Amino acid sequence: MKNSERLTKAWYGVLVLLMALGGWAIIERIRVGLVATNLTSETTWGAWVAFYIFFVGLSVGTFLLSTMFYVFKIEHYEKIGRDALLVSIISMVVALCFILLDLGRMERFWHTFRYWNFTSMLAWEVRFYVIYIGLLIAELYLSMRQDLIRVAKGTGWQAALARFLTFGSTDLSEESKKRDHKWLKILGSIGIPIAIFGVLGGEGMLFAGVKARPFWNSGLLPVILVVSALVASIALLLVFYVIRTKLMGREVDKEMVKSLAGLLAFFLLIEAGMEFFEFFVGAYGLQDTELATIETIFQGPFSWLFWGIQIFLGVVVPLFIFFNPRLKESVNAITLAAILVVIGILGVRFNIVVPPLIVPVLQGLPWGYYYPSPVEWLSSLGIVAFGLFLYTVAIKALPIDTVEELREGK
């Protein structure tokens, strides 16, 4: 126990340090404006937008997984269903932090609610986010309600919080449990289309709808976004589950990890296939801008991001691990593969956002160039650390694991 306490302290220490650095960077960004970034009028979206779509994807992916677990009653995975909802909410918070930071005039963010341009994907997105976040919170609450009541009976600040959250209700009857489950199902069924078509599909349309950038202007892009979001989410949930269980000194459910790894490999293969056709169809059209964009990805100054991270670390190595008869039996190897997959998808997000903004829209206009500035790096690290901090606090404060398991752990 001593050891784990020291670990917890170190973990919080690292997070606080990163958040402090990020805080400095954010203050700097607010003080001087977007000159603190390396963005230009050519490459006008960069790291923040890439992180933003990464986390929106993560949110939708984890949400879809958790609802699938609930709606289809996949008991096998229910252990991580609640965890998935929590990750989903926090990802959304993180994503919104990123996009807020990216606005040239942050103080006017409320304009997006006040004025509504019906033809703008971005305007729709903002509204879907609100509905979606409300739905997520309702779902998490309902899935926890029974356990909250149980926790409320105890002592300590967690119990006090639980008492507050349950509004004094102590209804633990079978009936109320059924009611909760019914509502979970209803919310889940409303939530799935909203998440797929509204939140993440809209996110894809944000890019796919831009005909000025032929690389984006493809019907497959929103689908790739959804599938790769699922990939990243399965991987991240797997990683969180393994690390958390190990840290708490509990036994890892190896069968579940292995079957998650199978699911992960399956979606990863689908995603790789889609990417292949996305590039193939794009290149086959021989359109100048499209070719120049693909060339930028394959051979530009950041081609290592594509070949090294997106393809080698993000696809080749994990697939090797998942299909190697020895490695696929090892929880550690699977966890490593999952971490690599998440990093790979981050590469995918950067390569979706940046390269099409490097190639000029008209021949003769200047080419863009972009590499995140220190302020962008530090603020991004800080926001991600903030998300992890929220996650760590939340799993301490709320009954994210089912109560029986908590008892076992103690």
Partner 1 sequence: MSADKKWAMVIDLQKCIGCDACTVACKAENRTPPGVTYNIVITEERGTFPSVTRVHVPRPCMQCDRPPCVQVCPVKATYKMENGITAIDYDRCIGCRYCIISCPYGARYFDFGLDYSQEMVGCNEVQAPEYGVDRGKREKGKSPIGNVRKCTFCYHRLLRGEEPACVEVCPGDARYFGDLNDPESVVSKLAASPRAFVLKEEMGTKPRVIYLK
Among the listed residues 186, 212, 243, 247, the single contact to partner 1 using CB under 8 A: 212
Closest listed residue to residue 19, CA positions, set 364, 378, 313: 378
Least Å distance, CB 27 to partner 1, is: 15
CA distances from 205 to 5, 9, 159, 210, 288 (A): 46, 43, 44, 8, 23
Name residue 63's amino acid: F
Least Å distance, CB 42 to partner 1, is: 7
Name residue 55's amino acid: F
Question: Does 38 sit near partner 1 (CB under 8 A)?
Answer: no
Among the listed residues 12, 72, 109, 164, the single contact to partner 1 using CB under 8 A: 109
Distance of CA 294 to the CA centre of its chain: 26
Toward partner 1, which CB reaches closer, 131 or 263? Answer: 131
Among the listed residues 1, 2, 41, 173, the single contact to partner 1 using CB under 8 A: 41
Question: Is 37:169 a contact under the CB 8 Å cutoff?
Answer: no
The tally of CA atoms less than 13 A away on the side-chain side of residue 329 is 2
Among the listed residues 6, 9, 73, 111, the single contact to partner 1 using CB under 8 A: 111
Question: Does 104 sit near partner 1 (CB under 8 A)?
Answer: yes
Maximum Cα–Cα distance for the chain, whole Å?
71
Least Å distance, CB 120 to partner 1, is: 4
Which of 141-149, 191-199, 316-324, 358-366 is the region at the interface with partner 1 (rule: CB under 8 A)? 358-366
Name residue 65's amino acid: L
Residue whose tokens read 């959804």: 226
Task: Give the x-and-dash track for 364-393 against partner 1 (CB under 8 A).
Answer: xx----------------------------
Size of the chain in residues: 410
Among the listed residues 105, 167, 173, 174, the single contact to partner 1 using CB under 8 A: 105
Question: Is 319:265 a contact under the CB 8 Å cutoff?
Answer: yes
Least Å distance, CB 205 to partner 1, is: 10
Which of 34-42, 194-202, 229-237, 270-278 is the region at the interface with partner 1 (rule: CB under 8 A)? 34-42
Residues touching partner 1, count (CB under 8 A): 41
Rounded-to-integer distance, Cα 403 and Cα 409, Å: 10
Rounded-to-integer distance, Cα 12 and Cα 311, Å: 33
Question: Does 27 sit near partner 1 (CB under 8 A)?
Answer: no
Q: What is the dihedral of CA 71, 220, 301, 284, to 10 degrees?
A: 150
Angle at 177 between CA 173 and CA 178, to 5 degrees: 115
Which of 41-49, 136-144, 175-183, 240-248 is the region at the interface with partner 1 (rule: CB under 8 A)? 41-49
Question: Is 34:152 a contact under the CB 8 Å cutoff?
Answer: no
| Helical segments of 153-219, H only | 157-166, 174-193, 201-208
Among the listed residues 34, 89, 94, 313, the single contact to partner 1 using CB under 8 A: 34
Least Å distance, CB 233 to partner 1, is: 26
Least Å distance, CB 380 to partner 1, is: 18
Among the listed residues 2, 5, 75, 115, the single contact to partner 1 using CB under 8 A: 115
Task: Give the x-and-dash track for 119-138 against partner 1 (CB under 8 A).
Answer: xxxxx--x------------
In the complex, which residues of this chain contact partner 1 (CB under 8 A)?
32-35, 39-42, 44-45, 102-105, 108-109, 111-112, 114-117, 119-123, 126, 206, 209-213, 357, 360-365
